[in-house]
Structure formats: structure tokens, C-alpha cells
Structure 1
């Protein structure tokens, strides 16, 4: 089972802005003193340049426009509501913010089928929203597909019971922990696992400083080492530049790339860059507006497609 894919689904925004409903527990979001139309225009420019860079190295990017009438400010982050699996399963996830639930679009599945992908089964966890229980896709879940392990930092958007249910359904061993960040002098849960941790084939980038519980930290480190992964530790300051929000993808001739934002790239030390480049080149793109208002970065924008092809 591969850890990386050559195909990703991305949603081009039409109403991108700061989402007040997600800002309550996404401490990465900040206001910009700009009109929403200008914020959206800048986000579209960043999106288009990012897609162009990915396609230039041979990543197959399926781009769908957001639907104007939905008024979905965070539609640019599709990996939170859906995941596509190698056996033809699609998982749909319950979302914390009510205005993000409209992002779930079955017409996108038709688009993937038109592209030759096979969807066998849709596993729908969205009823959990009625109970106030959430698990936001591969924002909350980090999947080690090769070793069948799933990592999850618990938060208001990542429920323990639902995570365990997912692991049982998809046959992953669960690894749970709490990851915190300092906000106004308090240690508060990081909203998504994928802003503090990235799993690549042969290495992991992780903000170990955010795992305050020593036993939990040891559990995660030991699990990664057991699988022969090199651990590249980032600081909390680097995490705030989205250095944890990276994704390894495949380009031409199965060449791997570690994809991240320009801000993440610039925050890395020469030693960290050298360690990553032992395994694969870095591909980075400026996502400043998206990161500032959306509180998410490169990894959040890419929904990996592992579905089988007809």
C-alpha cells in the first residue's frame, strides 16, 4: 500500500475569507485589514500559482471550483471533509463549523468517476454532528498507510470514540495524544493534527514540543522509530509558520516531493532542509493570505486521491 499519491483534488475558492465559526478554536487565524473580495482575489492568485507549481513537476491536480451559492469560506481545505482510499472506499467526516458542512459535495465524486476512478463504498460519519461529535478528515487523522497506523491529536475537532471507530472500520492501529500550543499564556489544544505533524514515507516532521505529556511523546516517538522513520523535530515557532503542515506527493517518474508553503520553507533551518532533502526535494509556494485568514496551509488544501482506476 503506497504512502503517497500522484493525484490530488483541490477546490478553487470563490468566497474565501476569515471564517468566524472556525476562529473560536483555530488559533492560527488572523484578521486582515482588507475587504473580503480582495482577500478572495489574493487567495485565488495564491491557489492558481500553487496548482501550477504542482502540475509543473507532474502532480495530477484535479481542480474544481467552489460553488458561489454555498458561501463556504473554507472550501479551499477539502481534506477535512473527505478521504479517498485505495480499496475504493470514501469517508465523509463530521465538521465542527456549521458553515463548513455545505462543503461536502457528492458531485465531486462524479467528477472523479469521470476521471476514471472507482468508488465502491461511501462510509459516512456525518451523523455524529447531531451529537456534537467531530473528526475532521486528514486534518485530524494522520494515516501511515504502509504500517496501518493512524495518529490523532485530540481536540474539539477530533473525538476519541469516533477516531477509534474510524480505525476499526479502516483497519488502522490508533495512536492518540494531545498536542498543545501557547495562546495568551495558556496551553490549549491544537485544532488539527496535521498542523503539528507530517508523515512521509521514510520520515516524519513533528512538533514534539507541543506534546506536553512525556509518556504520550515517548509513545509517538517510539512508534515512528519502530517503523524506521527519521524524525525531524520542529519548534512551536516553526509550527506557527505551518512547518508541520506539509504533504509528500508524487510527480513525474514517481519522484517524491515534500510540499509546503513558502512561510514553512523559510522557517526551516539549513539542517532541517538538508535532512528532508536526503529523501526528496521540497516544493513550496506562497500562501500568505490563505494561511493568515484560513489558519491552514499547503497540506490542508490537498485531498489525496488513492482510489483505484478503472
Structure 2
């Protein structure tokens, strides 16, 4: 069974604000009025607290800084533009918003290639020119244990691109439709679904087609998951945006925001805690202004030959190139 990642990459925001280019599709963004520089400072404090919480749980964290000269308000969500895989594949993804395409960084790609055994760089970003988008592990929820690639269909999560990628990686594609309480398409799969080795959190009420909902639930159970169904209100509190990780000593870790943890019922909290150590941190500013949370902020490093010098005791900080 493939294990969750123990080594992750995160990008510290230098200039953070709600992204006007993604507001039309990301209805999880609820920025405060008259937001200014204080939003960036709050986001930085939240970021640093989350990094510290992950480190304290024994997760290795590599931090890069967002380049200050670029208007990339969503740079704090690096999982959307790249993913890594245990066979040595590094995938670059096509992004819908023009300013999100600027998040792809040659210095991060070079660092990955220098530090890990990257055997193939699979660049899907040219599909942007044809209006085709697949925004990384925001669009795709990989179940590494069952080797399935789940996708909630939207304009930013297109099955036409997932089909060949899943086949290339040796995963079976599972596609479904889901909407929020207002009937709008869920923009990214990872805000309504999270899958760990033995559990799955999913907003089943968001899958309106009864047959499709039953199919999703049945498949997850066949794959040996304890299915934890969350409500539409819990999804809006980022309960679906959580991530299974592991510490350097092999212990199971489940990362989420403090808002998400508080929104789970006591019974659901107990169910999750049975699957790993719960790590949560306040991310209210990032969630409200960015429309993404704890899972979106973390890009897992699955590539072989992790660098020995990167330890859980501290995080390396790489400046912009």
C-alpha cells in the first residue's frame, strides 16, 4: 500500500489577497470588504503557524517564498500547478486563470530535479492554449492506496485531460458531478473530498444524482475506506479540504484548518482521530480570501530519494529565483 507523504512543499505568501480572476468559479472565496495590507500579514501569520504545526507533528516541510514582484495571489496553493509521484514523474498542470499560470516556477522545478530522482517531466500546461484545464491535486484527488484518480467535473477539472494522465500513472479514473448549496459546480474536487489510506471524507449531498452518489460511496467502501459523509455546510467550512500525511517516523497525520476541525461533529472527530494524529491551525484569512485551505496549501513530495538534510526539526526557506 502506498503511504501518505512525509515531505511537503509550501509557498509563503508575500502579497496575499482575493484573486479577482478566480472569483467567478471559486465560490468558497468570501473576502472581507476593504481588505488591505493587513490581509497579507494575517495570511503570513497563518501560514507560519500551519508550517510549525506540521513540523511539530514530524512532517518535513520545504518552504519557498512567493516572488514579491508578481501578482500571484494564489501562490500559497502550489498543489494546483504541480504534482510528484513515486515512479519519479513530475507533472505540470494547465491553469485556467492567467495570473495563476505565473505560479509555475522554474526555480522550484529545478530544485525538485536537483533534490529528487525525477525520471520524467510531464508538462500538460500547453493545454491552456486550447482552453483545457486540470489544476493539479485540486482537480484530482489521488487515492494512492487503491490507485484511483477521483475528479469532480468542472471548468477547471476536465476529464479529457485526466484520462491519459491516469492511464500514464497506472490509476483508474473516477469522475462525478457535484454542486454547492446554490447549485453551482464545485470548482475543485479537493474541497469536497479527501481520501486517506483507510478513510474518505466526502460531501455526498453535493452529488445530486442519486445513482452517481451511490456509485461513489460504494466504490469508496469497496476500496476499504471508512466513509465520513459531510454536509454542504461542513463543506463550506473546508471539512473536505483535509490531507492525510505521515511523520518521518511513520506515524499517521491528518492536516486541516481549525475551522474545519471545529465544524466536524464529535462523532466525526473521533472517527478521524482513529486514523491518525489530528493537526490543525487557524487559516481563516487564507480560506476566506483564497477559497482554499489546508490541503490546497500543501504539495506532497512523493519523488524518490528525499534529501537527507531536510529534517522535521526545521524548514528550509528558498528565496525566489
CA distance in 1, matches of 2:76, 2:40: 11
**RCO (CA 8 Å, sep 6+): is it higher in 1 or 2?**
2
CA distance in 1, matches of 2:177, 2:186: 8
Q: Deviations over 1:77-98 (max 9, x none)?
A: 0000000111111011010111
Deviation, 1:163, is: 1.4
What is the RMSD computed on CA atoms of the aligned residues? 1.2
| Alignment match, 1:93 | 93
CA distance in 2, matches of 1:6, 1:230: 22
TM-score, normalised by the number of residues in structure 1: 0.96
Conserved 8 A contact 2:134-2:157 = yes
CA distance in 1, matches of 2:78, 2:206: 25
Deviation, 1:36, is: 3.0
| Alignment match, 2:163 | 164
Deviation, 1:113, is: 4.3
SS in 1 for 2:69: helix
Deviation, 1:31, is: 2.2
2:153 equivalent to 1:154: yes
Q: Deviations over 1:147-205 (max 9, x none)?
A: 1111000001011211112112212111000011123xxx1110100000000010001
| Alignment match, 1:122 | 121
Query: What is the 5 A alignment of 1:95-244?
Result: 95-114=95-114, 116-183=115-182, 187-244=183-240
Deviation, 1:33, is: 2.7
Conserved 8 A contact 2:60-2:248 = no
| Alignment match, 2:36 | 36
CA distance in 2, matches of 1:9, 1:61: 6
2:289 equivalent to 1:254: no
**Structure with greater helix percent:** 1
Q: How many residues align?
A: 306
Question: Where does the alignment leave 5 or more consecutive residues of structure 2 unmatched?
Answer: 307-321
Question: Where does the alignment leave 5 or more consecutive residues of structure 1 unmatched?
Answer: none
- Decide which moves more: 6-15 or 216-225: 216-225
